Amino acid sequence: MRNLISFSIAGSLMTILFLGIVNYTTSPQKIWFIYPCLLLLLWPITLYFMSKKMYKQYSLICSAMIIAFLIIENYLYSPDYLWFIYAVYPIIWWPILMYLEEKAKTLKIALIGCATTIIYYSLLNIILSHPYPWAIYPAFLVIWWPLALYHAQRKTFVAFSVTSTILISIFFITVNVVSSPEVIWAIYPIFVVLWWPLSMYFYVYKRKMYNSTTLPKRI
């Protein structure tokens, strides 16, 4: 493994140097060699940390590298608009969840993560791009984290289908109202999703009926 790591380091550095020279000699007006550099650096880093089973440290280093790459990319090509702050937040959660270990699977952490995500993107929406409430999209996605975890722990799958259907319906109605209130299109996806709890209910009901008729009765 040591020889493989040494080979990956040498190969990465040689390739980065080669691409840097090609970039400088052929198209110095655009710094494009930084894109493959990120992947090339991850090669020896991944081999090293995986061989040492240092998964927490690996997540921390990789997150820092990706964030640094996004900041450089933002600074080089669009310094007038700080778009990297949208992508940084979910990347930060990778090492956070790794260091939390078993606590990351708890409902408490899911609720905290859900709440902070909604607050973070809502503030960005209000401060940087107020006219359209795009924060409803990441909010809709992150709510599934505590919702799915709650019902999975209790194995309440029928209740999960009902709650999920309500959530999806609210989401489509909200998007319909804020995006195109002149056309009522939300009824179409809502009609489709209504079949989910309906099918779950009849599946459970049919299974109970089957078990009651096939299981031997006690005298």
The percentage of residues in the chain with a pLDDT greater than 90, rounded to a whole number, is 74
CA distance 88 to 170: 28
Residue 208 predicted with pLDDT over 90? no
Residue 97 predicted with pLDDT over 90? yes
User: Tens digit of pLDDT for each residue in 21-62?
Assistant: 999 999 988 888 888 998 899 999 999 999 999 999 999 999
Count other C-beta atoms under 10 Å from residue 80's C-beta: 5
Closest to 44 (Cα-Cα) out of 96, 74, 6, 82: 6
The whole-chain average pLDDT of the chain stands at: 90
Using pLDDT thresholds of 50, 70 and 90, give the confidence band for residue 219. Answer: very low
| pLDDT at res. 1 | 73
| pLDDT at res. 210 | 58
CA distance 63 to 93: 9
Using pLDDT thresholds of 50, 70 and 90, give the confidence band for residue 213. Answer: low
What is the average pLDDT across 99-103? 93
**Predicted structure pTM score:** 0.82
Residue 20 predicted with pLDDT over 90? yes
CB 11 within 8 A of CB 43: yes
Q: Is the dihedral of CA 104, 139, 66, 22 positive or negative?
A: positive
User: Tens digit of pLDDT for each residue in 158-191?
Assistant: 899 999 999 999 999 999 999 999 999 999 999 9
| pLDDT at res. 50 | 92
Residue 192 predicted with pLDDT over 70? yes
User: Tens digit of pLDDT for each residue in 110-137?
Assistant: 999 999 999 999 999 999 887 899 999 9
CA distance 198 to 158: 9
